[in-house]
Structure 1
């Protein structure tokens, strides 16, 4: 019980760390205000120029929201690690009792707070500006929870890459969720891709997470069991990869930032 309580305190400390950086760094604030709005308005206005269909506009709003859910749940955990690295504190953190999965959970706490703000913003603008309708609140919640789970799985892989590549990993970390979202049919069916890419896309849990997002709109079929069947192997693979990456990084001295 004592170890669990200490782990929870470390998770809360990681989330608090992100909160402090949000207040100090304008870029982090834009990440939950301007950049999500740019994504929503650019896609929404493009769509509305061609069709006033409220269901299609709702797909744009929910797809953009699911995309941001994946991004934030993937990014926050790695951001904690990279902040400590750039500030020259990572060697102290990594010899402390902190564990890599606590970065993931601390980031999840921070991501949840950010997503609640973005969700309120997207849904309000979707109703007011685009006249989109969201008929099934439970289905919407299930789809967003699936996207959050996918973001956490991507975070596990991204943290492993950060252990190995240090500062050079940041380009990968930013691009990773966007590439995955595009391959997963965020606004369209994966049947638009050539057959080999379709086959790969169907192995991604994010494809089935976006299917859950689209299902309440009648634009896809909900397949929760298929979602879980793809999510679990990706999660297990991520745990094995990140554990190996941490051991290799320690052996090669990549966890130390020389001053």
Structure 2
């Protein structure tokens, strides 16, 4: 007598599980929560552990320097990217994309306006991080010297370039791609050696890390903070990589805008 209700409950449970499996299959970006975030955590914290262990018999100052420089400079990339990407996502969430498209405003004017406000948020965010690093850990970000300016400019440009890729993805795949606003950024973090040298990464992914302009920008910042001469080689590599990334992001965004108009994807946001 009791097998009937129990079997019916089991069928309902499996039906709900199957429905969510279908949603996952139809929304590939949800794989980030299942696979990508755990992989990022393992690589990031595993590499921090390897780097710290390799310096365990020496001085802890270098480990501290890597961490603090990484935190301060990373927030330049983070605030620049998130400000632009979430600025556009706000338009999709509030379904005002159509309103923007029927105004005489050009696309670059909109992006420039969002980026300008993003600069205000960047100054506030990085300022808080720098003040806490100075007050709590006696790390003065100005110790990097005037070399901080080109590094910050490069990281700012990289953040904007990543944001343009995200905007292009949202135009193509809809607001469901919003997870990529954070996903792409935080995949970049462990690969760039923000808190450790690239040599601490697993050997298989070190070439990817060395190819990223962020890697060389962070390395230049650490060398300057340690009192080394200006690392022109690292700055040159970071600048060249940033230029390639910016051109690629602009090309991708322009391509996605053409597809967005031609295929009428505006209906996704109505």
Task: Give me the TM-score of the superposition, normalised by structure 1.
Answer: 0.72
Instruction: Give the CA deviation at 1:133.
Output: 4.2
Q: Cα gap change, 1:166/1:219 in structure 2, threshold over 3 Å: closer, same or farther?
A: farther
Shift of 1:180: 0.8
Matched, 1:251 2:262: yes
- Secondary structure, in 3 states, of the residue corresponding to 2:265? coil
Secondary structure class of the residue paired with 1:187:
coil
2:100 corresponds to: 93
Which one of the candidate residues 108, 121, 124 is aligned to 1:117?
Answer: 124
Structure-2 separation of matches of 1:244 and 1:205: 23
Alignment of 1:45-84 (within 5 A): 53-54=60-61, 56-84=63-91
Q: CA deviation at 1:55?
A: 5.0
Cα deviation code 1:81-127 (max 9, x no counterpart): 22122222211212323333334322322222122222332222212
Q: Is the 8 A contact 1:144 1:213 kept in 2?
A: no
Please identify which structure carries the higher helix content: 2
Match of 2:138 among 131, 138, 141: 131
Consecutive unaligned residues in structure 2, runs of 5 or more: 1-47
Distance 1:82 1:127, change over 3 A: closer
Separation (CA, whole Å) in 1 of partners of 2:105 and 2:205: 39
Q: Deviation at 1:189?
A: 0.9
- Flag the 1:107–1:209 CA change in 2: closer, same or farther, 3 A: farther
Structure 1 residue ranges, 4+ long, deviating more than 4 angstroms after superposition: 50-55, 219-222
Across the aligned residues of Structure 1 and Structure 2, the Cα RMSD in angstroms comes to: 2.6
- Aligned-partner Cα distance in 2 for 1:157–1:251: 19
Asked whether the equivalents of residues 161 and 169 of structure 1 are also in contact (C-alpha less than 8 Å), the reply is yes
> TM-score when scaled to structure 2?
0.70
What is the rounded CA distance, in whole Å, between the counterparts of 1:258 and 1:225 in structure 2?
A: 42
Query: CA–CA distance in 1 between the matches of 2:192 and 2:201?
Result: 10
| 1:235-246 paired onto structure 2 within 5 Å | 235-246=246-257
Q: Is the 8 A contact 1:104 1:155 kept in 2?
A: no
Distance 1:77 1:122, change over 3 A: closer
8 Å CA contact 1:153–1:234 kept in 2: the answer is yes
Aligned partners of 1:90 and 1:256 also within 8 Å: no
Partner SS for 2:95: coil
Following superposition, the deviation at residue 165 of structure 1 comes to 1.6
Residues 139-178 of structure 1: matches in 2 within 5 Å?
139-178=147-186
Name the CA shift for 1:233/1:258 in 2 (closer, same or farther; >3 Å): closer
How many residue pairs end up in the alignment?
A: 212
- Residue 216 of structure 1 corresponds to 224
Contact 1:62 1:213 in 2 (8 A): yes
